Amino acid sequence: MVDGDGESENTDGAADSSEGEASSEAPDPGAAEPSGEPTGEPAPGPEVPEVPGGELASNTYAGPLGTRNHTGTDAVALTFDDGPDPNWTPKVLEALRERGIKAMFCVIGAYAEANPDIIADIVHDGHTLCNHTWFHQFDLGTWGEGEIRANLRRTNDAIEKAAPGAEVKYFRHPGGQWTDRAIGVAAELGMESLHWTVDPSDWDNGTTEAEIRDIVLERSGPGSVVLLHDGASNQEDMLGALGAILDEFENRGYAYTPL
């Protein structure tokens, strides 16, 4: 499996066909498909600019099928998919904590169930949670509405068990393979469907640290939603690139929003 469509921008409304693979070392969810659904004080992050008149930018929902692919302000959103991973997610959290950055984590339900302490740390540090299905099902959007609902609820239930009271305000379909049905069910469950602006293919073992860094820096701008992975299979290169990315974003004066 692969995460992202290999493009930094996707505003033509066509559904994507690829996205990051869930870590092969993650635990078996232990159920047939489809199926029903801290550490120290976090440092404060940069303030997000207010939107004049409360209106979002016109390109906020320019993703496939009208999904959100920009923040709607000048602030940038860092999003991390396919975790939590017991080896890499804590390292990402530490890197963000050191700089006071709030981000979004699009988590897989089976891994949330297996790593509840990491989910609790994500919430404790003030990051936003996003539902990334129970076990990274690429074809989820083709299932029946009841099956989709059961999968997303099961994922949210695992998150809620790990971090009671935590909100899950967003849904990201694996591979960006959006369908109106999946978007509609997510909306019924109170979740907004979130795509991305920049995909450096950090899910691909063939993508180097330098390539990840360069693609993100070349293609990011105010309002970008950046797709990265704390899960999948190339976390070492992603983490290596992350420091340089954050350094340059700081030089550009970007604020961050966890959405």
* CATH number of the domain residue 122 falls in: 3.20.20.370
On whether residue 34 sits in a domain, the answer given is no
pLDDT at 55: 76
Position 96: which residue type?
L
229 noted as active-site residue: yes
**Number of domains comprising the chain:** 1
Determine the Cα–Cα distance for residues 199 and 178; give it in Å rounded to an integer.
16
* Catalytic-labelled residue, pool 81, 121, 202, 230: 81
On whether residue 26 sits in a domain, the answer given is no
Q: How open is the CA angle 229-159-94, to the nearest 5 degrees?
A: 45
pLDDT at 54: 54
Domain residue limits at 228: 2-12+59-252
Ordered per-residue pLDDT tens for the chain, 259 residues:
444 443 334 333 334 434 444 443 444 444 434 433 333 444 343 344 444 345 789 999 999 999 999 999 999 999 999 999 999 999 999 999 999 999 999 999 999 999 999 999 999 999 999 999 999 999 999 999 999 999 999 999 999 999 999 999 999 999 999 999 999 999 999 999 999 999 999 999 999 999 999 999 999 999 999 999 999 889 999 999 999 999 999 999 999 999 9
pLDDT at 115: 98
Backbone φ and ψ for 247, nearest 5 degrees, come out as -60, -45
On whether residue 209 sits in a domain, the answer given is yes
On whether residue 223 sits in a domain, the answer given is yes
On whether residue 246 sits in a domain, the answer given is yes
On whether residue 27 sits in a domain, the answer given is no
* Catalytic-labelled residue, pool 5, 229, 230, 237: 229
On whether residue 37 sits in a domain, the answer given is no
139 noted as active-site residue: no
Determine the Cα–Cα distance for residues 243 and 95; give it in Å rounded to an integer.
8
On whether residue 36 sits in a domain, the answer given is no
H or E stretch at 82: strand 77-83
Residue 119: name the closest of 150, 164, 52 by CA: 164
pLDDT at 119: 98
